[in-house]
Structure 1
Amino acid sequence: MPLLKFHLYKTRSPEEVKLLLDVAHEAMVRSFGVPQDDRYQLVSEYHHPCMQALDTGLHIERSEKFVLVEVISRPRGREAKLAFYENLCSVLEEKCDVPASDLMISFTENSDEDWSFGYGRAQFLTGEL
């Protein structure tokens, strides 16, 4: 936990997608201090024009390498979120050739009662986690 959802244009090879997920996980571990095996990721791929990602008037140029990351998580502090933005942007640019202008991140926060990792129990509430 957190759950990361990646929205991508359907232009990457399976190897490129795997690398993107691996480096994103590294950034999450570094930013939030979660365990290495705490990894939940989903990928949705879209053909043009099934995903539109404009720049909200910021004059940010987008390309086929655009990545939208939705982070669903328990509350994280401001500094941890800012660190994640920077860490993810840096590793995607360095290791996946994703320009900084092609990364968009959005957080949705929920609470401990909103998670069940299996067996019909809320492990954050039962003390298992």
Structure 2
Amino acid sequence: MPFVRIDLSKKHPTDFAQQVGNIVYGAMREHINVPEDDKFQVITRHDSNELVIPKSYLGIEYSEDIIFIQVTLNAGRTTEMKKVFYKAICDGIVERLKVRPQDIFINLVEVNKENWSFGNGEMQYAPKD
């Protein structure tokens, strides 16, 4: 049930953005136990002035090719699973799309299961009474 937001520059073609989404989905399926068809993504392409980044942070230098990936998902994955997940996304984007690894920014937002409604105004994962 992850919800993925991908933000990147408009200088990248539309199909590039879709490929990033597919790489993220593949890593979710393979490394953090996301079921088939659980693919909810919003991909937004921005003008260069709409992506605000420092020249560097924590010794990592960024470029205008930066890709922001934010995944909201249920809490409970181990630190090791998250590390493998980050690496799989980075490796996939670097290998297939030739982006510098320094320009792949990933953020996880963990929530409780009751924080989701997949439609009909219902809490599909409501706690059992």
Q: Aligned residue pairs: how many?
A: 127
Structure 1's consecutive aligned runs of 4 or more residues displaced over 6 angstroms after TM superposition are: none
For 1:8-63, what per-residue CA distance to the aligned partner results, in whole angstroms no more than 9, with x for missing partners?
Answer: 11111111111111111111111112112110111122212221122653232222
Is the partner of 1:4 in helix, strand or coil?
strand
Give, as a single letter, the amino acid of the residue that structure 2 aligns with 1:121: E
What is the percentage of aligned positions where both structures have the same residue? 28
Q: What's the TM-score, normalizing by structure 1?
A: 0.89
Greater per-residue strand proportion = 2
Q: Distance in 2 between matches of 1:122 and 1:77?
A: 25
Give, as a single letter, the amino acid of the residue that structure 2 aligns with 1:62: Y
Q: Which residues of structure 2 form unaligned runs of 5+? A: none
Alignment of 1:6-85 (within 5 A): 6-54=6-54, 57-75=57-75, 76-85=77-86
When the two chains are superposed, the root-mean-square deviation of aligned CA atoms in Å is 1.7
Q: What's the TM-score, normalizing by structure 2?
A: 0.89
Q: Distance in 1 between matches of 2:46 and 2:80?
A: 32
Is the partner of 1:83 in helix, strand or coil?
helix
Give, as a single letter, the amino acid of the residue that structure 1 aligns with 2:39: R
